[in-house]
Chains A and B, each alone.
Chain A
């Protein structure tokens, strides 16, 4: 039976389709059933699929972040979706991103890091186990200045103005969006990470929703995970998973002032609290699920 409910007065000839004669001796239910059967046979409605028969979207393949606590609450980073990792300064978002990239490169996935503020530290990446031969690092900014200087074009007599323009957050964001489009069109990358953390909020908010929608559509049904790292959520409804990170007060600060001299102390670790604030992957509304994990400071160089 076609699951359409109609309130029809079967005795009213105006409601009956053409060629359907009113018959007073029929019962009301028979008329209604016949009417519905006729409607179901009509060409326009035959193509409409009832909601009960719609295919359930398959659960995307999940990508491990390399952090067991985060994987436990999120299930991992979904392929074919946009994931946001948010947090203020020193909240641990970069550590989670680097750990995710390291885990992906160890699985031989090809990764891209589009670094809006050119802040990735290769030494930290190596300590985290990133396989650099599988990582494409795109360093935005300072394009206009270097390009004009190379082309021999007379630059402004005030170099500080040019530097300020070259490092303008709007220019960096423009580079990020263009580069992301190119990368997603090229295809074949397992993980595409956009690091917008160093860009002021008023600029990040100006990224139009249509751009996020385009990125989300570009990775949909593909084996590419798109991660956006920023200080606050910006992709809005386009994000399948939003994770918010915050720092617990470092143990060194919680403990009473040490008697030891400063050079005998070290920044041992950071306790990071991860909270899932939005997830489209679960049927039920997401509850605030949190996990705490530690990252260890490694002095390199």
Chain B
């Protein structure tokens, strides 16, 4: 049983006024916490994480509730299955990796100097943060709260030395502030096995623990009370190091790491999902976690990248019968709203269904700096980017992809040469000057209407078509010949006529085109 949380509400200082506080974030039972972060509903239940290949699976880590029911790491799966109420989960490296990245984001949102000690342990330099976040107890509480927001229950310790902070985080649960100058007394109540919590060499640790057990040393204070010379004679230099460590005075320096900003979450599903609705729940949870991480670093999302591993799909094969389905949603402006992202993904998946059951979900967000929110006071109102993105996605679902956006004319003489761009009204780009006169607009027929033309004196004299367009040509101007792209396969050459046709409703003005390449007469549009 670990000692309870210790808390002293003061800021330690040294005699010379120079003080460098350090913090340590430790996630107890990290594999279990990684699972609970992905499945928060299991937090109130007894959870055990299995490791190994079936059927030789052993318990790797257990939650506090599972520990109360007598489940211990190292037990076999068969031993645990007989107990009621214990939820078993396989160890997921993807989830642990995502949890570790979340922990790093949490630490980096407080301090730029973070040491990535272990997947479950981080050390921070907290010097100079008091003006930003308040006193050390406040900082420690804020770190714990933010980690909790990211779905991780952590132990946070603050001390004047790295060793003291590290040992306190491993030894005390909750938030701990170790008073400066009293590290030895404060840590004295901890069991000696905490001393080896961050040691990599387990065999050596076991040897030392066995020795301490034989000597009757159970707590740190027992070890620190031993005479140094006698300790050195029996255990050598390593013994003295351990004694110093137990006093919280080890010579350890912070090695800052600068991990790349990767915002991704992944989840392997117990059973493949067929419907989009349950998939939306999974995506929603992952988006919540990613957005919390982005928010902690004051960043926003520029691109959403979704990868679904499918069973028996039609696309390129990865391994066995699994296939990969990928979708990318590029946002025109950086946004940070998990609900909108979820809706966008839902609409996109509805328009582009994966086509096979989903076995694994991988979601990545490309970060960007958030956009400045303030516009000019006297500018006309414009749609909110978040709402507009959703609206555009919904409209694309109605009229089809690529059929809603801003037109852009291409630099060519070919008619109907334009493309549709994503609509982004923000900014003052592409302004146009007012023309000197009103323009007679052309209404295009898409596709053009095929017509039969009677020719008289080199001019069209009568028009007829399958549609209700036709009649005597009252007036005709043309032809104006144009051609282009003769070096391409889709070369074009055409004669254009402007004609006035007498119809039932009155006079109608059309643009008539003679396609010289294919020998067809087409009505391209009407002047209106």
A interface with B by C-beta (< 8 Å): 66-67, 87-95, 97-99, 102-103, 105-110, 117-143, 146-147, 150-152, 175, 178-179, 182-183, 185-190, 197-198, 223, 246-247, 249-250, 252-253, 262-263, 265-267, 269-270, 293-299, 301
Closest Cβ–Cβ distance, residue A41 to chain B (whole Å): 46
A127 neighbours in B (Cβ, 8 Å): 435, 439
In the complex, the chain B residue whose C-beta lies closest to that of A141 is B399
Complex A-B: 10 CB contacts under 8 Å: A102-B432, A122-B418, A131-B432, A133-B425, A137-B406, A140-B399, A188-B382, A188-B383, A223-B380, A262-B458
Closest Cβ–Cβ distance, residue B11 to chain A (whole Å): 49
A299 neighbours in B (Cβ, 8 Å): 480
A90-B527, A95-B528 as given contacts; A138 in contact with B505, CB under 8 Å: no
How many residue pairs bridge A and B at CB < 8 Å? 250
Closest Cβ–Cβ distance, residue A206 to chain B (whole Å): 19
Q: Which of B353-406 contact A (CB under 8 A)?
A: 353, 355, 379-384, 387-388, 390-392, 394-395, 398-401, 403-406
In contact, B391 and A265 (Cβ under 8 angstroms): no
B413 within 8 A of A: yes
> Which of A88, A179, A186, A293 sits near B438, CB closer than 8 Å?
A293
B431 within 8 A of A: yes
A127-B435, A197-B528, A262-B458 as given contacts; A121 in contact with B444, CB under 8 Å: yes
Closest Cβ–Cβ distance, residue A274 to chain B (whole Å): 12
Q: What 12 new A-B contacts, CB under 8 Å, besides A125-B407, A129-B432, A270-B440?
A: A94-B441, A95-B438, A95-B439, A119-B445, A119-B446, A123-B415, A123-B442, A124-B440, A133-B425, A135-B406, A135-B407, A197-B443
B505 neighbours in A (Cβ, 8 Å): 88-89
In the complex, the chain B residue whose C-beta lies closest to that of A95 is B441
B381 neighbours in A (Cβ, 8 Å): 110, 188, 190, 223
A138-B404, A182-B395 as given contacts; A110 in contact with B383, CB under 8 Å: yes
A136-B405, A143-B400, A297-B498 as given contacts; A106 in contact with B444, CB under 8 Å: no
B433 within 8 A of A: yes
In contact, A107 and B380 (Cβ under 8 angstroms): yes
A140 neighbours in B (Cβ, 8 Å): 399, 403
In contact, A119 and B425 (Cβ under 8 angstroms): no
Alpha-carbon gap, A127 to B480, bound state (A): 19
In the complex, the chain B residue whose C-beta lies closest to that of A248 is B507
Closest Cβ–Cβ distance, residue A292 to chain B (whole Å): 12
B424 neighbours in A (Cβ, 8 Å): 133
Alpha-carbon gap, A128 to B444, bound state (A): 16
B409 neighbours in A (Cβ, 8 Å): 122-123, 126
A88 neighbours in B (Cβ, 8 Å): 505-506, 508
Alpha-carbon gap, A270 to B438, bound state (A): 10
Alpha-carbon gap, A197 to B407, bound state (A): 20
Alpha-carbon gap, A135 to B429, bound state (A): 12
Alpha-carbon gap, A269 to B505, bound state (A): 20
Q: Which of B315-359 contact A (CB under 8 A)?
A: 351-353, 355
Closest Cβ–Cβ distance, residue B366 to chain A (whole Å): 24
In contact, B509 and A131 (Cβ under 8 angstroms): no
In contact, B398 and A175 (Cβ under 8 angstroms): yes
Most A-side CB within 10 Å, residue of B351, B444, B445: B444
B418 neighbours in A (Cβ, 8 Å): 122-123
In contact, A198 and B443 (Cβ under 8 angstroms): yes
In contact, A189 and B383 (Cβ under 8 angstroms): yes
In contact, B528 and A138 (Cβ under 8 angstroms): no
The 6 closest A-B pairs by CB, nearest first: A188-B383, A133-B430, A94-B528, A265-B477, A122-B407, A186-B391
B408 within 8 A of A: yes
B434 within 8 A of A: yes
A124 neighbours in B (Cβ, 8 Å): 439-442
> Which of B382, B477, B509 sits near A110, CB closer than 8 Å?
B382
B280 within 8 A of A: no
In contact, B408 and A132 (Cβ under 8 angstroms): yes
Residue-wise interface mask of B (251-285) relative to A, using a CB-CB cutoff of 8 A (1 in contact, 0 not): 00000000000000000000000000000000000
In contact, A263 and B475 (Cβ under 8 angstroms): no
In the complex, the chain B residue whose C-beta lies closest to that of A265 is B477
In contact, B475 and A121 (Cβ under 8 angstroms): no
> Which of B380, B384, B405, B459 sits near A262, CB closer than 8 Å?
B459
In contact, A263 and B399 (Cβ under 8 angstroms): no
Alpha-carbon gap, A139 to B398, bound state (A): 10
B478 within 8 A of A: yes
In contact, A105 and B443 (Cβ under 8 angstroms): no
A133-B425, A139-B404, A270-B527 as given contacts; A182 in contact with B479, CB under 8 Å: no
B31 within 8 A of A: no
A126-B409, A135-B407, A186-B383 as given contacts; A301 in contact with B434, CB under 8 Å: no
In contact, B380 and A129 (Cβ under 8 angstroms): no
In contact, A119 and B444 (Cβ under 8 angstroms): yes
Alpha-carbon gap, A253 to B443, bound state (A): 21
B3 within 8 A of A: no
In the complex, the chain B residue whose C-beta lies closest to that of A229 is B528
Closest Cβ–Cβ distance, residue B321 to chain A (whole Å): 19
A90-B508, A129-B432 as given contacts; A121 in contact with B477, CB under 8 Å: no
In contact, A143 and B440 (Cβ under 8 angstroms): no
In contact, A295 and B438 (Cβ under 8 angstroms): yes
Most B-side CB within 10 Å, residue of A102, A143, A301: A301
In contact, A129 and B433 (Cβ under 8 angstroms): yes
Alpha-carbon gap, A297 to B527, bound state (A): 9
B503 within 8 A of A: yes
B75 within 8 A of A: no
B441 neighbours in A (Cβ, 8 Å): 94-95, 97-98, 121, 124-125, 128, 295
In the complex, the chain B residue whose C-beta lies closest to that of A178 is B398
B209 within 8 A of A: no
In contact, A119 and B525 (Cβ under 8 angstroms): yes
A119-B444, A267-B498 as given contacts; A262 in contact with B477, CB under 8 Å: yes
In contact, A92 and B439 (Cβ under 8 angstroms): no
In contact, A106 and B434 (Cβ under 8 angstroms): yes
In contact, A90 and B407 (Cβ under 8 angstroms): no
